[in-house]
């Protein structure tokens, strides 16, 4: 009978297509909405992705990575002397105004990295070399930032055209010249504009010698020391706060700075709420659509199931037939939807807009939801068929 159940399902191409479209669309909606949601949320801990270091050390009052409370330069020495530290490098981050050639001001995120180790340097440079940062007045700008800071001109066709900054271009930060020697590729952030990398010492200059410029310290553990162990030691010996750099926001690792940042935004800002409602809406619409398409499928077949029941099929057989149909459609629908979500996601990741992070958990959750919907629809169908009295088949 299962083969018949499947043939019943596949027999009507038009209806099947509708059913699968409904399911696929809702799976797509659920997966893609949540992926964009987590993508946007992932922007909150962008520095953790761009600046690669095993252990981060901050002021004890720091709660998340975007809110640096400056440390004393002497703290660097204290951290370096903790047992298990291979090396520790200073990191500066701040928002400053940059004055472009045409006189416009742009808010930028200034990142100062240690000129000796280049700890925290961007992973991918599309132009130039990181070592060029050792030359005077030099900076490296990220690709997206370079176009943000670019110059609007009128092209030969009369249309406005943006010319991104390129290697050799200059601008000013607090009246000090910054010359671009490289372009890097980094992940975009929730806060702040273009990323401008320079050396830690020059960052001090750009910020007019603000008294404290040490935002974070990037620390590498010695061989055989785990980041978590090292964090414990640093906190015990220095009273500073130490964080691990893993970006698995699901983990319960209390020490992950990314995770703490994520949840800080979750609890302290309206961002999760506003985007969360979109996700919920997606879920709701998804559930409604697939539930509805299934339900109409069941209703349309109700009289045939009643006939099958009259001919002597027990409710057990009918229940299994409905489950086979519901789960088959659910599986195919999920596959199509998840596939589309992944395809769209790939395009989005390539373009970087909107941000897209499809955790396997999202796919699993979508899978469970779609199958849950299938399950509930099958149950509703079973209840309906069990209620319909077999004698009704004699009526016209």
Q: Which is nearer to another protein, 310 or 371 (CB)?
A: 310
Nearest CA-CA partner of 58 in 200, 283, 237, 242: 242
What are 172's strand-pairing partners?
A: 99, 177
Q: Which is nearer to another protein, 11 or 354 (CB)?
A: 11
Q: Which is nearer to another protein, 5 or 196 (CB)?
A: 5
Total residues binding another protein (CB under 8 A): 30
What 8-state DSSP symbol labels residue 392? Answer: G
Among 74, 154, 224, 391, binds another protein (CB under 8 A): 391
Minimum distance from CB of 319 to another protein (Å)?
13
Minimum distance from CB of 16 to another protein (Å)?
9
Q: Is the peptide bond before 354 cis (omega within 30 degrees of 0)?
A: yes
Binding to another protein by CB under 8 A, coded x per residue (else -) over 289-308, reads ------------x-xx--xx
Q: Tokens 């901050």 belong to which residue?
A: 58
Q: Which of residues 304-343 bind another protein (CB under 8 A)?
A: 304, 307-315, 317
- Six-digit token string for 286: 């998804």
Minimum distance from CB of 155 to another protein (Å)?
59
Q: Which range of residues in 3-11, 30-38, 74-82, 288-296 is near another protein by CB under 8 A?
A: 3-11
Minimum distance from CB of 2 to another protein (Å)?
9
CA 211 vs. chain centroid, Å, equals 35
User: How far is residue 256's CA from residue 213's CA, in Å, rounded to a whole number?
Assistant: 23
Nearest CA-CA partner of 47 in 30, 67, 22: 67
**141-165: string of b/e by CB count within 10 Å (b at 16+)?**
bbbbbbebbbeeeeeeeeeeeeebb
Minimum distance from CB of 386 to another protein (Å)?
10
Minimum distance from CB of 355 to another protein (Å)?
44
Among 159, 211, 351, 395, binds another protein (CB under 8 A): 395
Contact between 14 and another protein by CB under 8 A: the answer reads: no
Minimum distance from CB of 291 to another protein (Å)?
21
User: How far is residue 12's CA from residue 331's CA, in Å, rounded to a whole number?
Assistant: 18
Q: Which is nearer to another protein, 170 or 296 (CB)?
A: 296
User: How far is residue 58's CA from residue 68's CA, in Å, rounded to a whole number?
Assistant: 7
- What is the DSSP track for 275-288? HHHHHHHHHHHHHH
Q: Which is nearer to another protein, 10 or 190 (CB)?
A: 10
Contact between 12 and another protein by CB under 8 A: the answer reads: yes
CA dihedral 147, 149, 151, 152 (to 10 degrees): 80
Q: Which is nearer to another protein, 204 or 309 (CB)?
A: 309
| Residues within the interface to another protein (CB under 8 A) | 1, 3-4, 7-12, 15, 301, 303-304, 307-315, 317, 389-391, 393-396
């Amino acid at each position: 009978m299962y083969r018949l159940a499947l043939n019943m399902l596949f027999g009507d191409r038009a209806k099947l297509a509708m059913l699968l479209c409904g399911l696929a669309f809702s799976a797509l909606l659920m997966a893609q909405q949540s992926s964009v949601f987590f993508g946007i949320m992932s922007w909150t801990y962008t520095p953790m992705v761009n600046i690669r270091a095993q252990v981060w050390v901050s002021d004890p009052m720091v709660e998340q990575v975007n809110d640096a409370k400056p440390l004393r330069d002497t703290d660097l020495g204290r951290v370096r002397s903790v047992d298990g530290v291979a090396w520790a490098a200073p990191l500066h981050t701040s928002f400053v105004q940059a004055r472009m050639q045409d006189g416009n001001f742009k808010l930028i995120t200034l990142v100062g990295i240690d000129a000796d180790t280049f700890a925290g340097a961007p992973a991918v440079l599309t132009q130039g070399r990181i070592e060029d940062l050792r030359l005077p007045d030099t900076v490296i700008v990220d690709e997206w930032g370079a176009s943000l800071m670019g110059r609007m001109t009128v092209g030969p066709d009369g249309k406005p055209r943006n010319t991104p900054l390129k290697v050799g271009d200059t601008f000013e930060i607090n009246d000090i010249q910054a010359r671009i020697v490289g372009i890097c590729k980094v992940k975009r952030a929730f806060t702040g504009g273009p990323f401008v990398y320079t050396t830690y010492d020059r960052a001090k200059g750009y910020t007019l010698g603000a008294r404290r410029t040490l935002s974070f310290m990037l620390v590498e553990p010695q061989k055989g020391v785990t980041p978590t162990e090292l964090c414990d030691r640093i906190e015990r010996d220095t009273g500073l706060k130490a964080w691990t750099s893993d970006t698995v926001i699901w983990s319960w690792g209390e020490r992950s700075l990314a995770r703490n940042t994520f949840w800080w935004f979750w609890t302290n800002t309206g961002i999760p709420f506003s985007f969360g409602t979109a996700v919920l809406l997606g879920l709701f619409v998804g559930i409604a659509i697939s539930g509805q398409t299934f339900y109409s499928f069941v209703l349309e077949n109700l009289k045939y199931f009643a006939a099958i029941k009259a001919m002597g099929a027990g409710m057990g057989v009918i229940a299994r037939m409905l489950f086979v149909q519901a789960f088959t459609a659910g599986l195919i629908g999920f596959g199509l939807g998840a596939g589309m979500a992944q395809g769209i996601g790939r395009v989005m990741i390539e373009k970087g807009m909107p941000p897209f992070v499809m955790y396997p958990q999202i796919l699993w959750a979508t899978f469970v939801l779609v199958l849950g919907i299938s399950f509930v629809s099958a149950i509703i169908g079973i209840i309906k068929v069990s209620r319909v009295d077999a004698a009704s088949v004699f009526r016209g």
